[in-house]
Structure 1
Amino acid sequence: MATYIHITAALWAILAGVSQLLGEKGSTFHRALGWTWMLAMTVTAISSFWLTGLMNLFWGYSPIHLLSLWVLVCVVVSVMSARAGNIKRHKAFAVGAFWGVIGAAIGTLMPGRLIHQWLFG
């Protein structure tokens, strides 16, 4: 179940993230979609802690889980920055988190990973 929650949230984070990058900044739509994106990023990061075993370096966790911790930091800093009016910092942390989820998505295409098996058999 955690796998499907993780994949669903990650797909939304990618789709909403692309829309956020390409769309008008500061609009009501940007803010509303941004909240769904932040939630999806949080769910993606937290659900990753139930996905273990690929590379058992630390109790089943791998270096990719460090990215999950970083995404949680990025979400908090980005939201706090936007609320404080520091849009430059908000953008830096939000875009950084987005590229992190893109990197993780590319990593799922490695042989032996579930997404790789679904796509390539």
Structure 2
Amino acid sequence: MSGVIFLAKICTLKKQKDFKLVYQKGKVFGNRNLVMHYLKNGKDTNRLGIIVSKKVSNRAVVRNRIRRQLKEAYRLNENQFALGYDLVLIAKASCKDEKYPVIEKSLKHLFYKKNLMRQDHD
């Protein structure tokens, strides 16, 4: 089993009450491709929820691709983001036509604009 790399698992929001709490008490910010709702959770980790509705595309293949791209963009940049937040990312219809680098840049833009970047990251 040498050579096997285990990736850290991203903590996710799963329960509807968790999503509702972020919507009701959290803050919201968006850009051309994404909307982010965020709320301090008092923990030392972030929890991520991703929503790609049928407004984006009726095809599940397209919605799942966008969801995977967002999750991967978050995972690769997680060490740059501040900890202690519940985050809900909502994809806009414009995501459907974008390539991965644009989606990643949009995600980083949201965190940067709301000062959710770590000050001590490399």
Answer yes or no: same fold by TM over 0.5.
Answer: no
Q: Could you say which structure has the higher helix fraction?
A: 1
Larger RCO (CA within 8 A; separation ≥ 6): 2
- TM-score by length of structure 1 reads 0.29
Q: Could you say which structure has the higher strand fraction?
A: 2
